[in-house]
Each structure stands twice: as structure tokens, then as C-alpha cells.
Structure 1
Amino acid sequence: MKNSKRTYKKNFKDNSKFKDKTHKKSVSRKETIEVKCIGMDEEGKGVIIHRNQRVSIPNLLEGETALVELLKKGDNLTGRLIQIKKTSSSRVKAKCPHYGECGGCQLQHMSYKGQSEFKQKFVQELMKPYGKVDPIITMEKPYDYRNKIHSTYAYGKKGEIISGIYEENTHRVIPIQRCIIQDPKADEINNSIRELMKSFKLNPYDEVRRQGFLRHVLIKTGFATKEVMVVLVTGSFVFPSKNNFIKALLKKHPEITTIVVNVNDKKTSMVLGEKEKVLYGKGTISDILCGCTFNISPKSFYQINPIQTHKLYSKAIEMADFKSDEIVLDAYSGIGTIGLILSKNVKSVIGVELNKDAVKDAIKNAKINNIKNARFYEGDAGEFMVKMAHQGEKLDTVMMDPPRSGSDEKFLSSVVKLSPKKVIYISCNPVTQARDLKYLTKHGYRVEGIQPVDMFPHTYHVENIVRLSKQ
């Protein structure tokens, strides 16, 4: 017992010292210096070196000289741009008045040519160990491309109803009436909803008090069909003057084809809740992509840039060079978009997806398009492939389009175990894709083609297609 007491006292004393040190480290210091930007990081921020430390500065471009304010807090060094002394030829004035505040775009201060060069260079650096990168596929008119808008509702500083986007890293809503990368018609509809809320005396939802009516508005538009879905995300199904509100909205916007109320009464950062009710129309819209018709529900994942998605999928299919006798597994198949589009090129397609609602949508989409050589299953694609390998089944190609986090080793080892001749890896995050390629190339695969596609102009995001073949 005596030894235990001594140990306790010793540890307590050590912890006190540790707290003192931590307190000293948390003291922040500011300094303003003139710097030259030596490059860009993966989020499109300018990179400088200060006292052998790499610092990322928002809105600074490679080659520029500028005054920056550096803030050192403990071991953490951050910076902000104060004044540009020497300007890059890629610098332009941002078109959006909210740029730099909402955080939705990160590259509007860069010409579109400059953005494309930045993304090309970024992918080339990551893919250097794997081969030559083809020139990025760009967008002819890089504005108004988002076929889905999401607007959060709140009260403004003067008590007025506002709608917009959360300020970066906060829960403060920035009022936005027009976003230059969103469908203009969807913005008009959202502005009308905000005006009608005043007329009908409906309140925005208060997240802290968990009171009020409207939390978010989600609007999805069919690029080819021009069908429009409006999803009102509310705190409850109680909807005062519901019929009159819907009637007034449709009078202003007869182009709306369906209206759905979705109830989210939980304290969460998730936009959509689990319960919903169709108020007008059939509750879904359709769109045509690469010759196939797709049914889109409020919760369906559907690529947000239809013009570039057409280019992305067409290029991926071209790189795959399918033969008519091939069996293809579409991992992370979602609502079946790419699997159904490529089905006409192959013998059969097997789609595997964890989200049961997406699987239901995929089966419906196969029926809509009268596609009989595609089957969709709910489950983990990695486990599905392991079962196929155990049963002695063979695949010719695996198509994979994982989330931003990429694939895990369990999934990749399943690919290796099943040993398809080809893997077509579509990624929205080349950083995690490069990590996964390292595993695949160590286990018998060789990269044979790399193609970046600019799906999200004015943001740092870039899509990348890689073809791998079994050695």
C-alpha cells in the first residue's frame, strides 16, 4: 500500500508539470512577413516555408510574393494573406461575392486554365510512380453545373429569414441568393421558398432549441429531362397551411414536378432524416445519362455534374476496352449508373452496394431501361468477391468508385484474391487512390492508363480514372 501511495503522489506531481508545459505552449504569437509562394497543397492553398516549416496560406498562388500574417500557437503554425506584392498570371477576380467566406469553392481566385494546370500537376505528382498521366478533361462552361443544391435555413442578424451555406468550420449560415456553380433555376426556386415562408409565417428551425419548421431545402434537377424535385427538410410533419403553400409554390414555379417533405428531428449534422412524405407528384424525378434513364429519389446518390459525368463514364468504358463475353463486377454500385451504362458492352454486370435503398433504385433502373444482364445485390463488395473466389467463380473486370476515403485493405485483398484481368478504379480523391494503387501494384497489378477529369470546377476536387491489368 505504501508503494502505491508514493506512486500516486509521483504521478500527480508529473501531471502538474505536464499541464504547466502545455499551458506555456498554448501561448500564441503573431508576425507579419513577406514571403514567396513555392507551390500549392492538395486543397489549392499556397505553400510557403518559414523557419524550415511548411505553411499553407489560403488564396495565395504559386510564384506570388505577398505579405502574410503567421500565427503560431504551440507547435501549430497557420497563416493568412494580407497583401499581394507580385501577382501570378493565373490570378483573377472571383465572380462570387461570397467567395472566401462560405468555403464551397476554393479556386475562384484562379483562372480556369490555371485551375486545370494545378489539378493536372497535382495528379501527376501523386501518380508519378505509376506512369504517364493523360491531359485532364476540362469543362467548356465551368459554371451552373450542380444539378443538386442544398440550402440551410436560419434567422439573420436582424431577425430576417435567411438561407444559404454554413461558413467554413462554423454553424453560421451565410445568406446566398445565387451560387455561380449551381443550377440557376434551383436558386430561383429556393429564393421563392424563402419569400413564401414570410407570407405563410413559417419559421426556420432552431438547432439549439430544436424548435421551428424548415431546416433545409434540397433541390434536384434532371439535366436532360428538366424535371425538378423539391425536398423540404422539416423538424416535424406538422405543416401549417400546407396545401396553400404548395399551391403558391407551384404557381410561381410550374416546372416543379414533385415535392417531398422529409422529417429530421434529431440533433445531427445529417441533412436528411429517415421519414418522408410525398406532397406533390410521384416523389422521384428521372434523368438520362449516357443513353440510360435513371430514377432519382431524395436519398439517391447521383453525380452532381451531368456534363462531366458523361465524359467520365464514357472515358472509363473506353479505357476498360470491354469484350462482349466479359463478366464485370460494379463495386460501390449505388443506383446502378455506371453498371447499367456499360452493360451493353459486356456479357453480364454484377452490382454490389451496402445501401439497401440504392440497391432498390438500381433494380428499378434496370427494369426502366429493360436491361436483363445486370443484377444488383445488397452487401459488402469485398466479402462478395471472397465468396466468389471460394466458389471458384471468375470475373474479367472490377469497376470500383469508392468514397473519398478510398478502399480499405480488406476490399483490396478481396480484389487480389478474385484476381480479375482488369481493374478500373474511378476516384474522387487521388490521394487515397494513390495509396490503394500502392497495394494493388505490389500484389500483381500494373497501371496501364491514368486519366484525370475536372468534375468540380472552382473547387480543389478532381476525379481520376486508372486502368490496371493483371501481370
Structure 2
Amino acid sequence: MIKKNDLFEAEITAMTAEGSGICHADGMAVFVPGTAVGDRCVVRVVKVLKKYAFGRLEELLTPSPDRTTPDCSIAGPCGGCVYRHITYEAELKIKTQRVRDALERIGGFANIPMEPILGAPSRTRYRNKCQLPIGLSKNGEMQMGFYAVNSHRIIDTHTCLLQPEVFDRAAEAFRAWQKLSGESIYDEAAHSGVLRHLYMRCGEKSDEVLVCIVANGAKLHGEDLLVKMLREAVPEITGIVLNINRERTNVVLGRELRTLWGKPTIRDTLCRLEFEISPHAFYQVNRTQAEALYNKAAEYAGLTGAETLLDLYCGTGTIGLSMASRAKKLIGAEIIPSAVENARKNAAHNHVTNAEFLCGDAKDAARILYERGERPDVIVIDPPRKGCDAAVITTIAAMRPTRVVYVSCDPATLARDLKQFTAEDYNIEAVTPVDMFPGTAHVETVVLLSRKKVNGYVDVDLDAEKIQGKSGSATYKEIQDYILSKYGFKVHSGSIGQIKTKAGLDKRENDNIGSGDGQKVSCPQEKEDAIMDAFRHFNMI
């Protein structure tokens, strides 16, 4: 059995989801950062757990054909990029395989209809947002950069190949101002000092730049000097703001903003729509690849202008609004009130008149729409990394959209959720990975799901028969779906037949019969009340 500090020779045969190479020693998997598939190397064991271990590359004996010279000296320590030492073609293969592996191993899927990954036109300078934590070095000077892997230790950084060059100039001017002004540095442990983060945004199309200083206080020493130095270093700058964050928290931004100069927002264009972006607003950090992702999602949605489109987890509305011109109606739902307000403003700013935005979590929003009688033809979901709650998927399936477009930032939770979708009578039609964040371990995925077509039945199921009422009608399935969505429980078709007779609606000879055993179905009061509510909802009584 291997132990800490052991040295062994091995070949890297695969990659982890986090971008470490995988080799084996004494039958145990060892994860080694900074390696590539095909590397023959000497590895030092640094940590041993029950089923796997972590290692460090000690010596590269035979390099992988995928290797290239890293273009960043701190890529390893900072931990942001994990693939700067291999070619982009190799990186895209790894990300494609990561999606495929998750769908096969977690979802249990075979013969996955995978389309080629959408690679980025550039691996460098693609991010339009940067958050740099600020701290004190051992010699008492300000340092600013990125946190080392799994720590709050700052790696002092003067340039980052993921950020635009304009951010480097702004950061250097900020460093120079701090030396001149003597403004204090925030200390996490003591909750003292002022400067916490330097936060920057830029518009790829507009070229506007916003610099935001996050501070443990409402005022900075030498604010006029800071404005002067930033404007001289960055002529493109359109706004400088102070964000006040006095909380003992790891959350970067506080709620209060004060404009020091210019305007507190920037503009940018995405999918022919213009967005006003504040420090708090969500906006895709790689605009070019966001367009590629949204265009693929729109292709999968297959809108013709006649459909109602539901955008769950809509955020500030970017995905839904990019498709609104192709839909009859757009409905967006988001749990964060400020994001909903931003979505409404974005719709108004872009003269989108067929959009409505609801504030609530995905399950509640879907239930509200169901109760209103809305039946979306297409549903787009872009959940957080944890994926969808099982109840959300059940509710989506109950609404019976023709197509569901799932945008995911985590292949593992995507695979788990797709497994439930297929159990809820949806097929996976197409899968496309999208590389939104070159150099890093992250990969996005767009999936098209379609509702299974029921065919080949000879007998007539109660679920397919319509119940006629006063001025409306509904199938058994529609009634069951309505009750499941609103009340969260299932009702037997025999129970519906029983209450149908009780309500004086038309009766068939097999109403109130169980599933083949000839026994009458007992219907509890809560289910009877729910069925009667469904009859009223469909205007049958």
C-alpha cells in the first residue's frame, strides 16, 4: 500500500473532472495536477485517502504528445487554469469526454447523440469580469491577485491571460494609488482595514469599462486622486464606483454603491440585444461563447413564432430574451427579485413586448402557470450548479412541453436530471458541449429533450379518454397532471372515475375500477377535493 512521500513511476491514462491527471499505484488511483494523458512521469504521493490518493509531478520522463509550453507562470499555483500546459485540441477532447462519461456513468445512457463541442475562438483575454481579492504580504505591502487552490492565500498577480489587457492597466493604477494614499488593507480575521476587492467589468462590443472598489467603509482616502490615476491609465473607463461591504462574509459585493465618477453601469450587446450591466447584475463572462451557446439553445428550441416559451431560472432574462422574437410569448421565472427587475428592464430597453417575468422558484412558478392554464410548448432551463430539484422536473413533465432545452454548467448534475427526465417520458435528442471557459476545468452543455410519442396501443386507456363537462373537458392524464403539479400527489384514474360519477358527469362502465383486479378504488377526502378542484379548473362543473 502506498504512503505519503512515496515515489513511483507511472503513466497518466485519464483526467479528473477538476483537470488532474490519473495514474495508478498498487491498484489505487492517484490524482496528479499539471499532467497530461500520455505523460510518463515520476510522482510523489502527498496525501492518501481510503480509495484514492493525491500526488505531485516530481519528474517528467516522457512528455505527452498533447503537451505544450505553458504561457502563464502562475497557472499552477493560482489554480484558475488547469489546461494551459496542453493544446487546445486536447483540452476540448477532455471536456467532451467529461460530458460523455457523466452521461454514461451517472445517467446510465448509451449511444448518446453527441454533437461536436463548440470551442472558443480564443483561449486568452476572453473574460469581461474580474474580481481580485486584496491582502497584505508578509512584508506588509498590498498584494492583489487570485486565491491559491483550496485556500484564501492570495497569489499576487500583475497580469492574467484570461482577463483583457485593460484590467491589467486599471489594476496597476490602483496599486500605485494605494501606495500614494496609504489606504489600509482589509484583514479577514480581525475584520479591520478598508480595501477588500478590486472588481472590474468591460463590454466586449461597447469597450466600456467599469472599475469598482469593494471597501469595508463608505469613504476612501484620496478618492479624487484615485479617479485621476485610473482615468489617466485607462482612457476607456466610463465609471468608477465604491461598493460598501462591512459584512463578515466571503460574499464579494455589498448592497450599497456610491459613484465616484462617471456612470455606475456599462452597456454591452449580446445576440443583437443591448444590456445595461451593473456590478450586481449577472452577465455571461465570455460573451462570444455565450452567443454560441444561446444560438445552439435557440436551434434546439425550434421556435416558429407560434409557441409559448417558458424560461425557468431565467436570471436577468438573457437566454429567453434572445429567443423572444421567435416566440409568440415568453415567460421567465427567477427567484431573485433584483434579477427579475433587471429582466423586465432589459425587455423594455430592447422593446420586447411579448415577455412576462415572474418572481419565484422554478417549481412554484411552473405551478402558478399551470393553474393559469398556461401550457408552454418549449421550456428552457438553466439551473445553478446543483441542478434541478426532482419536484421541478416532475412539474415540467406535468406541463407536457413538446421540447425541453437544458443548459447545464455541471455534467454530473445534468446526467442525474436527464435520468429523471427520461423516466418522465422524455427522450434525449441531442447533446452539445460548449467551452465557455477555455483553460479551466469547466464545461457547459446544451441538451434537447423531446416528449415521447405514445403509439402502438390497441386498447383505450382511461388516461386518454376525455371527460366532458358543463362547458369544458379534460383527459384523465390532464387531470392527473394538474393535481400532481398543484398538490404534489398522484391520483388513480379509477378515483377520477369515481368522483366523475359523484359529480354527475358522463360515466363509463369501467369507471371506479382498479388496475385489473376488479376492486373498487378508495378515494381519500383530500384526493376527492383535489379532483373536484381539477373539474372546476377545466370548467367541467
Secondary structure of 1:231's match? strand
The separation in 1 between residues aligned to 2:226 and 2:159, in whole angstroms, is: 23
Residue 150 of structure 1: aligned partner: 131
Q: What percent identity do the matched residue pairs reach? A: 36
2:76 maps to a residue whose letter is G
Q: Which moved more, 1:38-47 or 1:98-107?
A: 38-47
8 A contact 1:28–1:73 mirrored in 2: yes
Unaligned runs of 5+ in 1: 1-26
8 A contact 2:173–2:229 mirrored in 1: no
Q: Which moved more, 1:316-325 or 1:245-254?
A: 245-254
Residue 134 of structure 1: aligned partner: 115
The separation in 2 between residues aligned to 1:415 and 1:191, in whole angstroms, is: 50
* Correspondence 1:68 to 2:43: yes
* Correspondence 1:93 to 2:79: no
Q: Give the Å deviation of 1:160.
A: 1.9
Give the TM-score, by structure 2 length: 0.80
8 A contact 1:151–1:218 mirrored in 2: yes
2:69 maps to a residue whose letter is K
Find 1:56's aligned residue among 31, 38, 61: 31
Secondary structure of 2:269's match? strand
Residue 195 of structure 1: aligned partner: 176
8 A contact 2:185–2:196 mirrored in 1: yes
8 A contact 1:386–1:417 mirrored in 2: no
1:181 maps to a residue whose letter is L
8 A contact 1:68–1:81 mirrored in 2: yes
The separation in 2 between residues aligned to 1:70 and 1:240, in whole angstroms, is: 49
* Correspondence 1:395 to 2:376: yes
Residue 221 of structure 2: aligned partner: 240
Residue 12 of structure 2: aligned partner: 37
2:309 maps to a residue whose letter is V
Find 1:107's aligned residue among 63, 76, 83: 83
Residue 306 of structure 2: aligned partner: 325
2:74 maps to a residue whose letter is H
Write out aligned runs for 1:51-450 (5 A): 51-73=26-48, 75=50, 77-128=53-104, 129=109, 131-450=112-431
Secondary structure of 1:100's match? helix
The separation in 2 between residues aligned to 1:307 and 1:49, in whole angstroms, is: 39
Secondary structure of 1:446's match? strand
The separation in 1 between residues aligned to 2:25 and 2:113, in whole angstroms, is: 33
The separation in 1 between residues aligned to 2:371 and 2:60, in whole angstroms, is: 62
The separation in 1 between residues aligned to 2:97 and 2:262, in whole angstroms, is: 47
2:80 maps to a residue whose letter is G
The separation in 2 between residues aligned to 1:43 and 1:109, in whole angstroms, is: 15
Q: Which moved more, 1:125-134 or 1:419-428?
A: 125-134
The separation in 2 between residues aligned to 1:390 and 1:369, in whole angstroms, is: 30
The separation in 2 between residues aligned to 1:438 and 1:53, in whole angstroms, is: 30
8 A contact 2:133–2:145 mirrored in 1: yes
Secondary structure of 2:99's match? helix
Q: Cα 1:70–1:248, aligned 2, differ >3 Å: closer, same or farther? A: closer
Secondary structure of 2:6's match? strand
Unaligned runs of 5+ in 2: 453-541
* Total equivalences in the alignment: 446
Q: Cα 1:203–1:252, aligned 2, differ >3 Å: closer, same or farther? A: same
Q: Give the Å deviation of 1:30.
A: 2.8
8 A contact 2:307–2:329 mirrored in 1: yes
CA shift digits 1:29-81 (9 cap, x unpaired): 43111112221111121112223322211112222221111245463622111
Q: Give the Å deviation of 1:250.
A: 1.9
Q: Give the Å deviation of 1:343.
A: 0.3
The separation in 2 between residues aligned to 1:333 and 1:73, in whole angstroms, is: 42
Q: Give the Å deviation of 1:213.
A: 1.8
Q: Give the Å deviation of 1:28.
A: 6.4
